[in-house]
Amino acid sequence: MKRNGLTLILVGLLSLGLASLAVAGEKRISKQTKECLSCHAAMPGVVSQWEHSAHWDAGVGCYECHQAQKSDADAMDHYGFTVAVIVSPKDCSQCHPQEAREQMASHHAEAGNILNSQDGLLGQTVGGAPAVVVGCRQCHGSIVKVNEDGTLDTNTWPNTGVGRVNPDGSKGSCSACHTRHRFSKEQARQPETCGKCHLGPDHPQKEVYEESKHGILYRAFKDDLNMDQPKWVAGEDYYDAPTCATCHMSATPDQPVTHDVGDRLSWNLRAPVSMRTENHEQKLAKMKDVCSACHGSPFVEGFYQQLDGAVGLYNDKFAVPAKDIRDLLIKEGVISKANFDDQIDWTYWELWHHEGRRARHGAAMSGPDYAWWHGFYDVAKAFYNHLLPEVKEACEKAGKPELYERIVQTYIEGRPEHEWYVKGFDPKRVQEIKQYYQQRYHQQVQ
Amino acid sequence: MKRNGLTLILVGLLSLGLASLAVAGEKRISKQTKECLSCHAAMPGVVSQWEHSAHWDAGVGCYECHQAQKSDADAMDHYGFTVAVIVSPKDCSQCHPQEAREQMASHHAEAGNILNSQDGLLGQTVGGAPAVVVGCRQCHGSIVKVNEDGTLDTNTWPNTGVGRVNPDGSKGSCSACHTRHRFSKEQARQPETCGKCHLGPDHPQKEVYEESKHGILYRAFKDDLNMDQPKWVAGEDYYDAPTCATCHMSATPDQPVTHDVGDRLSWNLRAPVSMRTENHEQKLAKMKDVCSACHGSPFVEGFYQQLDGAVGLYNDKFAVPAKDIRDLLIKEGVISKANFDDQIDWTYWELWHHEGRRARHGAAMSGPDYAWWHGFYDVAKAFYNHLLPEVKEACEKAGKPELYERIVQTYIEGRPEHEWYVKGFDPKRVQEIKQYYQQRYHQQVQ
Amino acid sequence: MKRNGLTLILVGLLSLGLASLAVAGEKRISKQTKECLSCHAAMPGVVSQWEHSAHWDAGVGCYECHQAQKSDADAMDHYGFTVAVIVSPKDCSQCHPQEAREQMASHHAEAGNILNSQDGLLGQTVGGAPAVVVGCRQCHGSIVKVNEDGTLDTNTWPNTGVGRVNPDGSKGSCSACHTRHRFSKEQARQPETCGKCHLGPDHPQKEVYEESKHGILYRAFKDDLNMDQPKWVAGEDYYDAPTCATCHMSATPDQPVTHDVGDRLSWNLRAPVSMRTENHEQKLAKMKDVCSACHGSPFVEGFYQQLDGAVGLYNDKFAVPAKDIRDLLIKEGVISKANFDDQIDWTYWELWHHEGRRARHGAAMSGPDYAWWHGFYDVAKAFYNHLLPEVKEACEKAGKPELYERIVQTYIEGRPEHEWYVKGFDPKRVQEIKQYYQQRYHQQVQ
């Protein structure tokens, strides 16, 4: 953006005032931090970022955060100072105890555990350890290891994963979202911040948000949202668009900000089969309170009925039958109990972990293209065009074609939602469609 | 964005002037709207958005838009007022008759009809009704149903689909693009607005635009485009980048703005086989008039020759043969007449509806990656690696291997564009390529 | 963005001063250019863009760039002037010799050569010539042909591909990045500019950048980066985020800007098997110098160890075995030497050219989702679920099942990294995972 000459003049005039403020700020910088700065001026990015931060203004500098006890696992002697590279949530909690407590109670703090899941197994065995280092762990967090010489094991650091297990035992990394060394609230509230990890084939929240009205309005009115203000209450300090933070974390007139990101989630939309979260009524009430800053209650109630319908469809038509069919194949010895050694394992895995999440997240955050084309359409294709034919083939290979017959009888036939798969489409409808294409495109479509 | 203290002071000085303007604006607010506001202050987002809108400035408030006749299908008594939740294009047309007329004549108004197409059939049967509610209908529009108690059926509302059929019979939803309650022209002109629906595997216009020079320049010079001005004529009010609106809707020195979004489209690039639109010469002339704000005529003519070549390639090499081959299989009883019960149905469907559109839209909007990798590359893969082998297998299964021979003779052999599939690549070229890789990567590539 | 009344007043006051500057600028415009402008006012976009450019300020106008010698291949008489449509790097080098020299020595200048590669073969034969025109060539560049009548062959122009071969023999197109006619440094430095070509399934650098901390910070602090300043030194003129240009081209306190985009790349991450570039130590040192503006040396060294680990994993576990297995199949006559006539050819091609690049670029630019889900996860799926089963089937079809046995013995069995494929997952780990899901989702996962 071009700045005109006037701005420069005005900035000049203002400088006198700002200069005295600056002196005040600088006075607060500790003697130790000043010593740090005398060398680390050679990292101008870090220093400048910090100088533009609330930390600088409050006199919180290098030493205040990086100082360590000699007994700390990752303490090191650094030109006479005892410091640590990693500043953990435990360190931050000295000034921000409430935020640290909430984060500690959240799913985020446990994100490292996911690496004990199928995702982790896939990463470590099917992928390989170095892929886990540059992939999984950069979001989920590593278990940071300190080498015998006091340096950090590079298989585990650099890492700012949100569930990082730190040498002091604390979990998480505040700079996962509050990027060092500016620690900007404005930056942390932007959807891109969450989008570092919440994107892609298995949880495309960023893509869904960007498609949604919420994301569209954010792009249009970002400059009106006062995102740099300390107090940031929806419906008091901004009115035109929510970010991820608005709905999941930030304050409303009736509830405070929270760093427990699951505090307003009434559905678990990540699991193979979706179910309500614990205390879901309270969590739902909190979320509806956010909605009400901009939406009337018929809209909010209608939205949730549409969401609940979509989650029910996913569960009942696709997720539960797929799970039951696979369980049955394992029980009958058609496929092995082991994971990911049969094509059916992979198909089922992506059905719930990839396509099924896209359908549910698309519905939950009002991204119609994700709900349908990347979501239910892909779920249905996986179910009908991949899973069922693979089940048939596996049964035949195992010499149990009658098992497939039984599966079709139990899970498909007689179920109105799967009727088309057995009986085909209603010929009358198909005829109408052909006429529609004939009119629309002036061409025959079989 | 940080605001400096000076701005605050200046804003203070300005407030005296603005305050009197504000009084003038407030005077225009009707008695009824003031009563609405007395309760609806509890929805601060809505109120603030409206206060920043041209509607507020013109004294158009809650009651002016939401008032209803007792005889209206969705009228309800609301604390003594007769109002309706939905404000339809018919309502908006009272002040914006020209815009409503143009929208009514456009493809957008008929978008609900698509749900009578294969897309709709897939949605309702293969997906399921709740998927249609959160997916298809959120873009295409629902047929809004009023419950017996006067509330809106939540299977059909909340919904701002661009082809929504309203209780008053009018089609569309102005707030699909002009998001309530700010109704900002600037927001409606942004590419993200169109991107709510025009994105994804089957019509990635948003992605293509973002990749194109047009999208790149928009990101670079958005602040110079005067997008908030009532008058917004390309080449008069802005010069540096077009948005979707610029090319498809907004004014040039020689033509007015239109809400008929198909008014400048000379190709139908959505159909299985592309063909010219009605009155395509006039439509093409209108589009070229837009191009000419920034491009000389050799550039524009050259661009259209490249586009026409790409569309011809899609039609002649892939779309028509694929269609003819499938028609033949149906005629010969190799696959059923029913849709989506053979793998070939799905392959053909995605070939034209997904990959084929990506190729054509990529070419039409200058997104080379979409034209090739997401487009023609995927079309060719679908044709050669999926459709033809599936056709072969289906013929063999049906006991008609000679039919496949005939298909290859008719559609593939002797056609220079398919020669490689039968004869393989020119060995001389392949040899050259291996040498090239050898040089480039210092490694042998077979 | 709304502009308040005050701005308008201040702009008014400033106009007096700017007006005299404008006169000075206008004085520099040549007589010939003024004649051009007398007609070309009908292309207001081009004129306005140029009027906002440094070229205008320097008195470099239409004629200065577009003038030609009668002997030039693409010279044309245009109302008494001898001009050419294309302004080539050779033309630009008259004022910008250093930039032209660097560009000429870069990979960019050779980008047209890629059309001699497998990509080119695919484009021209599997796709078709018109697809190459709207796809490949729009990034890589065409060999511009001049028709007998002096106009440009529309199969080769419009085209601003970065490796375009111009009628004067020079290679490249400066406006590929410095979009005409504003030639803005700010625009050229934005990541979207590079993203015109560096995106998509086979080299998603744009997507990886946007996911990375670098991209997140760019979105947050773009307005603080002084991107419109002539001098743009990381750590001197901006501190908060790098763009693509920062790392690959722009200046640091210790090295100058370069238009040789490969000058800081120590790995070739595009090749089937990755290897070090020539003089990679020097190139690596240059890149680390950029990193050091914001990162301490333990961070930088740790990052590169993680990257090297990921590249090694890709090479050793997947790329080399996949290549060797395919070479063996060709040698043993199981598949033909010809390219892209066996499914295995396609699978191998996408393994390295698509999935394998995504894994490597994701790791190199800190996009964890691209490194894993779009990268190593897809590489592993291609290797285990597609390549190996296809190899087995091809061996069986060729009547050589023992060859597949030999392949498994040689490349899979006894290799710890592939152990799971033969022996399955460790049952103890699988049991732990089931318990984890049980706890996390309160549901049984087989």
Chains touching C (at least 3 CB pairs under 8 A) are A, B
C316-to-A245, B423, C306 alpha-carbon distances in Å: 42, 35, 15
Written as one letter, the residue type at C73 is: A
| CB-based contacts of C443, cutoff 8 Å, min separation 6 | A271, A272, A273, A275, C437
pLDDT at res. C376: 98
- How confident is the model over C226-240, as a mean pLDDT? 96
Q: What is the pLDDT of residues A131-176, one digit of tens each?
A: 999 999 999 999 999 999 889 999 999 999 999 999 999 999 999 9
**Which pairs with CB-CB distance under 8 Å and at least 24 residues apart come from C249-254?**
C250/C189, C252/C289, C252/C290, C252/C293, C253/C293, C254/C289
- How confident is the model over C309-321, as a mean pLDDT? 98
Written as one letter, the residue type at B120 is: G
Higher pLDDT, A49 or A427: A49
pLDDT at res. C387: 98
Contact: A443, B275; criterion CB under 8 Å: yes
For testing contact with chain C, the best of A3, A74, A117, A126 (most C CBs within 10 A): A126
Q: How many CB atoms lie within 10 A of CB A328?
A: 17
Cα C182 from Cα B240, distance rounded (Å)? 8
In chain C, positions 24-43, which contact chain B (CB-CB < 8 Å)? 42-43
Cα C134 from Cα C156, distance rounded (Å)? 10
For testing contact with chain C, the best of A138, A173, A180, A334 (most C CBs within 10 A): A138
By the CB < 8 Å criterion, does B8 face chain A? Answer: no
Q: Which residues of A293-319 are buried (b: 16+ CB within 10 A; e: fewer)?
A: bbbbeebbbbbbbbbbbbbebbbebbb
A16: pLDDT strictly greater than 70: no
Q: Of A11-20, B72-81, C60-69, where does mean pLDDT reach its minimum?
A: A11-20
Q: Is B4 helix (H, G, I), strand (E, B) or coil?
A: coil
- How confident is the model over B341-352, as a mean pLDDT? 94
pLDDT at res. B26: 65
Task: Report the Cα B270 to chain-centroid distance in Å.
Answer: 11
Contact: B135, A303; criterion CB under 8 Å: no
pLDDT-derived band of residue A341, with 50, 70 and 90 as boundaries?
A: confident
Q: How many CB atoms lie within 10 A of CB A143?
A: 17
Cα B330 from Cα C78, distance rounded (Å)? 59
- How confident is the model over B206-228, as a mean pLDDT? 98
pLDDT at res. C434: 74
C430: pLDDT strictly greater than 90: no
* Percent over 90 (pLDDT), chain B: 82
Q: Of A330-344, B148-162, C22-36, C348-362, where does mean pLDDT reach its minimum?
A: C22-36
- Among A9-18, A419-428, C379-388, C429-438, the range with the most confident prediction by mean pLDDT is C379-388
Residues forming beta bridges with residue A143, ordered by sequence position = A165
Q: Which of A60, A66, A72, A70 is nearest to A85 (CA)?
A: A66
Residues forming beta bridges with residue C275, ordered by sequence position = C268
Q: Of A193-197, C11-15, C200-204, C413-417, where does mean pLDDT reach its minimum?
A: C11-15
Q: What is the pLDDT of residues A87-126, one digit of tens each?
A: 999 999 999 999 999 999 999 999 987 777 777 888 989 9
Residues forming beta bridges with residue C67, ordered by sequence position = C83
- How confident is the model over B90-113, as a mean pLDDT? 95
Longest dimension (CA), chain C: 88
Written as one letter, the residue type at A331 is: K
Q: Are B135 and A361 in contact (CB under 8 A)?
A: no
Alpha helices in A28-128 (DSSP H): 31-40, 44-51, 54-57, 62-66, 89-92, 97-104, 118-121
- How confident is the model over A321-334, as a mean pLDDT? 97
Q: What is the pLDDT of residues B400-428, one digit of tens each?
A: 999 999 999 999 998 999 988 988 887 78
Strand pairing report for B76-78 and B81-83: antiparallel
Structure-derived torsion over alpha carbons of residues C283, C289, C292, C297, reported in degrees to the nearest 10? 60
* Percent over 90 (pLDDT), chain A: 82
Is-cis flag, bond preceding B89, omega within 30?
no
pLDDT-derived band of residue C5, with 50, 70 and 90 as boundaries?
A: very low
A25: pLDDT strictly greater than 70: no
Q: Are A58 and A28 in contact (CB under 8 A)?
A: yes
Q: What angle do CA C69, C73, C74 make, to 5 degrees?
A: 80
A17: pLDDT strictly greater than 70: no
pLDDT at res. C46: 95
C213: pLDDT strictly greater than 50: yes
Q: Of A312-321, A360-369, C134-143, C337-346, where does mean pLDDT reach its minimum?
A: C337-346
Q: Are B443 and C275 in contact (CB under 8 A)?
A: yes
- How confident is the model over C288-305, as a mean pLDDT? 97
In chain C, positions 366-385, which contact chain A (CB-CB < 8 Å)? 366, 368-377, 380-381, 384-385
Q: Of B369-383, C5-19, C108-122, where does mean pLDDT reach its minimum?
A: C5-19
Q: Per the structure block, which two tokens stand in for C408?
A: 């498994």
pLDDT at res. C68: 97
Which residues in chain C are contacts of A339 at CB distance < 8 A? 425, 430
Question: Helix/strand/coil (H, E, C) string of chain C?
Answer: CCCCHHHHHHHHHHHHHHHHHHHHHHHCCCHHHHHHHHHHCCCHHHHHHHHCCHHHHCCCCHHHHHECCCCCCCCEEECCEEECCCCCHHHHCCCCHHHHHHHHCCCHHHHHHHHHCHHHHHHHHHHCHHHHHHCHHHHHCCECCECCCCCECCCCCCCCCCCCECCCCCECCHHHCCCCCCCCHHHHHCHHHHHCCCCCCCCCHHHHHHHCHHHHHHHHHHHHCCCCCCCCCECCCECCCCCHHHHHCCCECCECCCCCCCCCCCEECCCCCCEECCCHHHHHHHHHHHHCCCCCHHHHHHHHHHHHHHHHHHHHHHHHHHHHHHHHHHHCCCCCCCCCCCHHHHHHHHHHHHHHHHHHHHHHCCCHHHHHHHHHHHHHHHHHHHHHHHHHHHHHHCCCHHHHHHHHHHHHCCCHHHHHHHHCCCHHHHHHHHHHHHHHHCCCCC
Closest chain C residue to A131, measured at CA: C310
Contact: C338, B425; criterion CB under 8 Å: yes
Instruction: Give the distance from residue A23's alpha carbon to the nearest chain C alpha carbon, in angstroms.
Output: 22
Cα C14 from Cα C16, distance rounded (Å)? 5
- How confident is the model over C204-231, as a mean pLDDT? 97
C25: pLDDT strictly greater than 60: no
- How confident is the model over A8-36, as a mean pLDDT? 64
Q: Across the interface, which of A11, A212, A425 has its CB nearest the CB of B338?
A: A425
Q: Which residues of B324-356 are buried (b: 16+ CB within 10 A; e: fewer)?
A: ebbebbbeeebbeebbbbbbbbbbbbbbbbbbb
| CB-based contacts of A351, cutoff 8 Å, min separation 6 | A318, A319, A322, A379, A382, A383, A387
